[in-house]
Copies of this chain bind each other. A is one copy, B any other.
Amino acid sequence: MSNLPPPDRNGTRALLLDVAERLFAEHGFEAVSVRQLAAAVGANVAMVNYHFGTKQQLLEEIITARLPETRERLESLSRSPLSPWEKLSLTVDMYAEKFFQGRDFHRLIMREMSLRQRPALVKIITDHLAHNLALVRGFILDGQQNGMFRPVDAELTVATVFGSFSSLISHCSLMCAILEEDCEEDIYSEKSQIRFKAHLKGMLQAHLMGA
């Protein structure tokens, strides 16, 4: 019951985490130098190593800090007494909000997964996401067992949902072109989010429960 002052009150460290997340997401981990980072937060070059040990540890901290969030929300959803379809529907809502809001973070981990550069990090990310998606798959399997859902390919259905989110976030320039938006502000607007949720839910409904 120690009422400490908020532990990350220290400005530089928190700033570095924030700015690094954005810069890594935009240009890639290897393309952002420690000097650029330091300059971007108005700190000394040595601060990254002082606070995080190495540049890679900074990356690891960015990622591991935010990974557990989704897991917790999915698990509580899983324990709730809602119907499988309601759980799936809320899952779509939650993912949409998370991905749209934390675009940088998700672009970052998705790109990290597509590389074979830092296997330990890939494993951490993969384990987290796989656990989450297994929960989502559970919703589908539940629905199939009680006859509410048709016998679709549950794993690939989950993959399709995840891929839709992932692509919308990672390939923003392409999505702008497809959606004929002027990009960036438009594509991640509240309106777009609503449209995207409706599309995914509609498709899942047809897929799982028929028209």
Contact = CB atoms under 8 A, between A and B. Distances in A.
Q: Which of A26, A133, A199 neighbours the largest number of chain B CB atoms within 10 Å of its CB?
A: A199
Contact of A210 (B110, B172, B210): B210
Interface stretch (A6-14, A54-62, A149-157): A149-157
Contact of A116 (B26, B159, B178): B26
Interface string A146-175: 000010110111111011111110111111
A74 to B, nearest CB: 14
How many monomers of this chain does the complex have?
4
A113 B174 CA distance: 8
Interface stretch (A36-44, A63-71, A82-90, A201-209): A201-209
Contact of A199 (B28, B160, B179): B160
Contacts of A207: 202-203, 206-207
Contacts of A202: 152-153, 207
Interface string A106-127: 0100110111110000110111
Contact of A27 (B113, B116, B199): B116
A156 B115 contact: no
A134 B178 contact: yes
A177 interface: yes
A28 B115 contact: yes
B110 A114 contact: yes
Interface of A: 26-28, 30-31, 107, 110-111, 113-117, 122-123, 125-127, 129-130, 133-134, 137, 150, 152-153, 155-160, 162-168, 170-175, 177-180, 195-196, 198-200, 202-203, 206-207, 210-211
